[in-house]
Amino acid sequence: MRQIAILGAACLCAAMMPEAVAAQSYPSKPIRMIVPWSPGGTSDTIARILGQKMTEQWGQQVVIDTRPGASGIIGTEVAMRASAEG
């Protein structure tokens, strides 16, 4: 439950960035949000709601990528090995 709260708080902070920051050229391509828990759960639902709000605010598509398994380790490894795009 604590991990869900941390994920939700981090995504909420990102979704409520000031308009001055959102007016810059970032993000210039779709954003991939990796959720290391199973689809249909609370964390997946929160990520999808936040992804929709981020898409509306930033004008760039947010793709929710669920990678469940091994108590979140699989999704965490996918995020760790993702390319650093800024």
* Of 42, 53, 41, 48, the residue nearest 13 (C-alpha): 53
Q: How many CB atoms lie within 10 A of CB 67?
A: 18
* pLDDT of 54: 92
Cα–Cα distance for residue pair 67/38, rounded to 1 Å: 7
Cα–Cα distance for residue pair 56/39, rounded to 1 Å: 22
Residues 7-62: pLDDT tens digits? 666 655 555 555 545 455 667 788 889 898 888 889 889 999 999 999 999 888 99
- pLDDT-derived band of residue 77, with 50, 70 and 90 as boundaries? confident
Structure-token pair, residue 47 = 């990520």
